[in-house]
A = this chain, B = another copy of it.
Amino acid sequence: MPRTPGRPRSGIDDTVFAATLATVNSLGYARATVDRIAAEAGIAKTTIYRRWPTKGALITACLVDAFGPAPLTGTDRSQILAAGIRWIAAKIGEPGIGAAFAGVFTDAVNDPELRQILSAQLQDPYRLALQEVLNEPEQRVLFYIDVVVGTLLHRLGMTGRPMVDADVEALVSMVTTALNPPLSPGGPPA
């Protein structure tokens, strides 16, 4: 296994990710500057910028690492979707992750390049997996993602606290009902 010459990169990615979440958790997203994250990780700020081009890219990579693969398990489509909703709700509730997610989303609103990074690296893998397992068209899956993630982030953003389990279950019920609409006495919806 021939390696390229030069000093190899030290394995500090995990250290930086942990420092990022810890800093965001203790200081909030706005005060989690790259300087402070670097200090928390015990490395130089310039080292961070050699690996990730912008702060948004760093946070996105951190979230991709923190989320990992979605456990889309269940015996039918409703159960699979419900598992996915409970999983993302729990992740957003973990210390630092929710605030980092909301922060980078917020930054992406007016930054098309970051939006691209966020969409491609964070949303698309889960969207594609959901399309496969639910056998639903892209537009429909994107709608479910808007509903679930938007709701969870709005709650976190307006209250500062993650959504409580009872409301998560209401969300599960609402979305799974939309996925498999019940036949109503007046006939099925057009």
Q: Please list the residues of chain A having a beta carbon within 8 angstroms of any beta carbon in chain B.
A: 28-31, 99, 102-103, 105-112, 115, 118-119, 123, 139, 143, 145-147, 149-158, 160, 163, 167, 170-171, 173-175, 177-178, 181-185, 189
Oligomer: number of copies: 2
* Given contact pairs A110-B103, A151-B147, A178 touches B182 in the complex (Cβ within 8 A): no
A115 to B147 CA separation, bound complex (whole angstroms)? 22
Q: In the complex the two chains form, is A154's CB within 8 Å of B160's CB?
A: no
- Please name 8 pairs of A and B residues whose Cβ atoms are closer than 8 Å in the assembled complex, sorted by A: A102-B109, A103-B109, A105-B106, A139-B167, A146-B158, A147-B174, A150-B150, A170-B178
List the B side residues contacting A111 at CB < 8 Å: 30
